Amino acid sequence: MTSIFISYRRADSETIVGRIYDHLKNRYGKEAIFKDVDNIDPGEDFEQKIQAIIQQCAVQLAIIGPRWLDMPSAKTPGQRRLDEPKDPVLLEIEAAINAGIVIIPLLVERATMPDIDRLPDSISALAVRNGRPIRNDPDFEDDIGSLFAALDRYLQHVHAPADATPATFAGNPQAALVRQMLPDMERAFAAHDWQVLLDKADYLARYAPNALPAARFVTWGNTLLAESDVSGARMLLDAALGLNANGVASRPFTPADVPALRVAAQVHDQSGEQPLAATLLKDALALVADSDQRLAILREYLLVLQQTEQWNDLLRRTDEALRIAPGDPTIVALRVDALAKLRRTDEALAFIREFANRPDATTAGQLALARVLAEQSNPAEAWTILQAAMHNPNAPASVAQVRAKLFPPPSVAPRLAHLGYTGHNVAGAQFLIAPLCQVPAGLFRMGSDPRQDRDAQASEQPDVPFTTHQDRVAQASAQPAHDVTLPAYWIGRYPVTVAEYACFVRSGHTPGDWASQQSKLDHPVVAVSWHDAIAYAAWLATLTGQPWRLPTEAEWEKAARWDPQRRASRLYPWGDTFDESRANIYVGGKNGTTPVGSYPTGASPCGAQDMAGNVWEWNSSLYKPYPYSSTDGRENPDNSVENRVLRGGSWGDLAPKARAAYRNNLWPDYANGYDGFRLALSAGAGS
């Protein structure tokens, strides 16, 4: 019976091959060796004959010399012989790889192993075989001896005499083969010589499938997984279970195979072969009766069923798992997922509600319910549940992680983020919060002093005197100057931007001229009426639980001009002298709004910016004569007939209207491209 197949090229290594053949013939007998195509009778199909012979063999010796890889084709100029479809060497090695026999590359005449990327795809596996050098004298005999030692291990059970004694085989040739090869495999494992280990495991899987040391294979497979050698682990575990390339077992499984089945399933899962992984875990379950063991396998099986979208099987298996582990949050979540995928949404919701409302419900149960509610377009209830979980002093960090995943905050443009804006999400409603400035409690001087106004005109445009009828009326309305005492409060550092208002628009409230504003996210929003501004503040207050509102006229003016160090009110936010470089007004020639924060040198003493120019800003107050009093009805929010105050001037106004004391007014339904607003908070609410 032929057991050794020699593959070689005559023009590459004929001389040394003859010498190797002679030594092999003397040791194993001529009939055990196939050396040359000359042994094929004339008229026989060469390819079929080669495949038939190799099927009988246990080992192929692939002899590689210095010209083996690159020997040129005699038929096609510029092509290698190895690339010819009918090249004998190519066909021989392909047949050996397909047959799964042991292939030992023998490197002669100082040849080296070919790189995998230089081999044809059909024989690329040759590059990972463990090659052995066969050198010329004086090393030839030693190298041949080493080769014989390897061949003896591979061939002993094949050529054992019929009357082999129990001392040699112990009545079981497969067990004897395992005993012979196991020490070499243990040494290869200890040396991390994975290729040798895999080659020997492959050999044992073919010739001793019923005597494999399954426990050792599982240990080796786990080690290879830890080394990220998934393909090696797969080969070892498949060998231990007797699985062929298609995952079909050559023998029935036993309870002893359960550890190997579980690790093999993990390997095939990582290899992207989830259906096979599911089959292996199903086989493992069929072999186990102990509830703890079944639960451990079920946990793995459920995840694979989810990956392979076997929803009905997943649902059935979660029933079994929950009988063993009632209320397990991971299993509950998988069951809910299966119900949802099967479009049994009402059943899924009812199940998860019952689970989350149990007296022994865990935080994990609340999280599972929140996920389902969010997926079922019920974000408000999901948010309420997450908020309750967050207030649990023992809540894990996963609560915040789930909330961030289910309710992601909106992205904040880099420039706005740099200015201090932050994104938030409450119950699915996204919004931005702008940075605030704190205004301390106490008295300040409100209104216009005629002497200050006359002095100011010298620093304003000399050709634009403060003498128009509107200006005279406004000047008179800002008199007399008087002292007002206010409690501490917070005011927005900037007017409300398009980016902030866009979150409000997504909730169903659209201002005028909205389409042209959406490309200017960091500009103040315009074309908003007083009612629009009030509605935005109320919307934000509902989401945050903080009393956001428009500033009163007194609060706006104090934030714009009061200098607590000098205990005096400035004419402009930056001082008493007009400076067109500190504000976006008509003389600057911008002809439109500018991004908030563009004029940091125009900030008021408390740090508020754009208090002069850019946009007029709605105040909460009705337009009533001075002195200001918060108790005289001017802060009545229900009066929708009388005009409301606007402050600060806009990009289309002249310098006099940029004065901090200047008063403008419009009816509350009016909206145009000059008007915006900023927000305020009472003391404590914004800290």
**Among candidate residues 596, 260, 255, the one with its CA nearest the CA of residue 413:** 596
How far apart are the C-alpha atoms of 570 and 577, rounded to whole Å?
A: 9
Note the pLDDT tens digit of each residue in 625-669. Answer: 999 999 999 999 999 889 999 999 999 999 889 999 999 999 999
Predicted confidence (pLDDT) at residue 359 exceeds the cutoff of 70: no
Element (H, E) at 612: none
> Please, what's the b/e burial string for 508-535 (b: 16 or more CB within 10 A of its CB; e: otherwise)?
eeebeebeebeebbbbbbbbbbbebbbe
Q: Would strands 59-64 and 568-569 be described as parallel, antiparallel, or unpaired? A: unpaired
**pLDDT tens sequence across 192-245:** 888 888 888 877 777 777 777 777 888 888 888 888 888 888 888 887 787 877
Whether pLDDT at 396 is above 70: no
* 18 has pLDDT over 50: yes
Burial of 247 (0-12, 13-18, 19+ CB in 10 A): middle
Q: Can you give the pLDDT at residue 179?
A: 74
pLDDT of residue 463: 44
State the Cα–Cα distance between residues 138 and 629, nearest whole angstrom. Answer: 114
Q: Is the peptide bond before 255 cis (omega within 30 degrees of 0)?
A: no
The mean pLDDT value for 253-270 works out to 88
Q: How far is CA 517 from CA 53, 497, 610, 612, 649, in A?
A: 81, 10, 18, 21, 20
Choose which CATH entry (3.40.640.10, 3.40.50.10140, 3.40.50.1820, 3.30.70.100) describes domain 4-155: 3.40.50.10140
pLDDT for the residue numbered 169: 33
Which of 162-176, 379-393, 487-501 has the lowest average pLDDT? 162-176
Question: Which has the closest alpha carbon to 673: 507, 472, 498?
Answer: 498
**How many of the other CB atoms lie within 10 Å of CB of 596?**
28
72-86, 273-287, 379-393, range with the lowest pLDDT = 379-393
DSSP string, 190-212: HTT-HHHHHHHHHHHHHH-GGG-
For residue 40, give the nearest of 14, 2, 82 by alpha carbon: 2
The structure tokens 């019976």 sit at: 1
Domain at 432-682, CATH class: alpha beta
The pLDDT-based confidence of 41 (bands split at 50, 70, 90) is: low
Distances 253 to 201, 212, 250, 389, 551 between C-alpha atoms, Å: 19, 13, 9, 47, 78
Distance CA 614, CA 675 (A): 9
Could you tell me which residues come within 8 angstroms of residue 148 by beta carbon, excluding any fewer than 6 positions away? Answer: 23, 27
Question: For position 628, what pLDDT does the model report?
Answer: 97
Write phi, then psi, for 273 (nearest 5 degrees). Answer: -110, 60
Angle at Cα 586 formed by Cα 584 and Cα 592, nearest 5°?
65
pLDDT of residue 495: 98
pLDDT digits (tens, 9 = 90+) for 525-546: 999 999 999 999 999 999 999 9
Higher-pLDDT residue of 250, 426? 426
pLDDT for position 527: 94
Residue 159 in this model has a pLDDT that exceeds 90: no
- The Cα–Cα gap between 516 and 519 comes to 7
CA distances from 497 to 466, 557, 658 (A): 31, 20, 20
The lowest-confidence range among 47-51, 359-363, 496-500 is 359-363
Classified as helix, coil or strand, 6 is strand
What are the tokens at 354?
């019952």
* pLDDT for 167: 31
The pLDDT value given to residue 457: 56
Higher pLDDT, 329 or 592: 592
Say yes or no to pLDDT of 170 above 50. no
The CA-atom distances, in angstroms, between 41 and each of 44, 96, 516 are 6, 21, 88
Note the pLDDT tens digit of each residue in 597-635: 999 999 999 999 999 999 999 999 999 999 999 999 999
What tokens does 532 get?
Answer: 């629009």
Specify the higher pLDDT residue, 171 or 500: 500
DSSP sequence for 451-495:
HHHHHHHTTS-TTS-S-SHHHHHHHHHT-S-EEEEE--EEEESSP
- With both helix axes pointing from N to C terminus, report the angle between 140-155 and 10-28 in degrees, rounded to the nearest 10: 60
- Contact of 605 with 618, CB cutoff 8 Å: no
CB 672 within 8 A of CB 526: yes
Q: Strand, helix or coil at 304?
A: helix
| Contact in structure between 677 and 495 (CB atoms under 8 Å) | yes
Mean pLDDT, range 367-376, rounded to an integer: 68
What is the maximum alpha-carbon separation in the chain? 129
Half-sphere exposure of 467 (CA within 13 A, CB side): 5
SS3 515: helix
Place of tokens 């599982």: 218
Report the pLDDT averaged over residues 145-164.
Answer: 65
pLDDT of 397 above 80: no
**What is the chain's mean pLDDT, rounded?**
85
Q: Where are the domains of the chain?
A: 4-155, 432-682
Nearest CA among 177, 170, 247, 185 for reference residue 216: 185
